Amino acid sequence: MPEVAAPKSVLVVDDDPDTLTATADAVECVGYAAVVASSGEDALRVLGERDDIGLVLMDVQMPGLTGIEVLEKASRDEKLKAIPIVLMTAATQLAPPPSVLVLKKPFSLRRLVCVATEHLGGICPEGRPYACHDCDAGHLLAV
């Protein structure tokens, strides 16, 4: 019998407890398992310990290691650099590294579904594979 791949989890990282809870709840609402961390340091620890993380949604501005600093550290680690990291921010003038996706806060559940399924694979409510085909333009900044 062929081995079935374990479902991927989404690591949600935010220092604001309300945003952390709301985002994790939204991730679970759309069918993915959410793992939470409240700092960049905790995020790196979780990423180092777990093999089921398929996507990271990370706040940019946090005390200690910022989202961008975690992104830079992960990009230098052989295991972690394959895990997509989407930065979440309310900042309007952010200069993330090239080809990093930024999810602008506040974001809708529909936008979150689009980002998660784009990276983890999935089917949209219309039954088509997700490719951000039906989301508002401008919710992701590909820089």
67 vs 115, higher pLDDT: 67
- Cis, bond preceding 106 (omega within 30 deg of 0): yes
Listed ranges 40-44, 59-63, 73-77; the one with the highest mean pLDDT: 40-44
CA–CA dist 5, 74 (Å, integer): 23
The Cα 125–Cα 103 span in angstroms is 21
Query: Does residue 3 sit within a domain?
Result: no
Range of the domain at 95: 9-142
Q: Is residue 13 part of a domain?
A: yes
Distance set, CA 117 to CA 9, 40, 130 (Å): 12, 24, 6
135 within some domain? yes
Average pLDDT for residues 60-85, to the nearest whole number?
92
pLDDT band at 63 (very low <50, low <70, confident <90, very high): very high
Of 34, 33, 40, nearest to 15 by C-alpha is: 40
Question: Is 94 contained in some domain?
Answer: yes
Q: How confident is the model at residue 26 (pLDDT cuts 50, 70, 90)?
A: confident
21 within some domain = yes
Query: Which two tokens mark 67?
Result: 């989202």
pLDDT band for 42, please (50, 70, 90 cuts): very high
Q: Is the pTM of the predicted complex or chain greater than 0.85? A: no
pLDDT at 7: 57
Helices (H), ranges, 1-143: 17-29, 40-49, 67-75, 109-120
The residue assigned the tokens 């930065």 is: 87
Residue 2 lies in a domain: no
Q: What is the pLDDT of residues 91-112, one digit of tens each?
A: 766 676 777 888 888 888 778 8
Say how many domains are in the chain. Answer: 1
CATH of the domain at 82: 3.40.50.2300
The pairing of beta strand 33-37 with beta strand 85-89: unpaired
Upper half-sphere CA count for residue 120 (Cβ side, 13 Å): 30
Residue 138: predicted pLDDT: 38
Query: Is residue 99 in some structural domain?
Result: yes
Residue 84 located in a structural domain: yes
> Which residue, 89, 98, 97, 86, is CA-closest to 43?
86
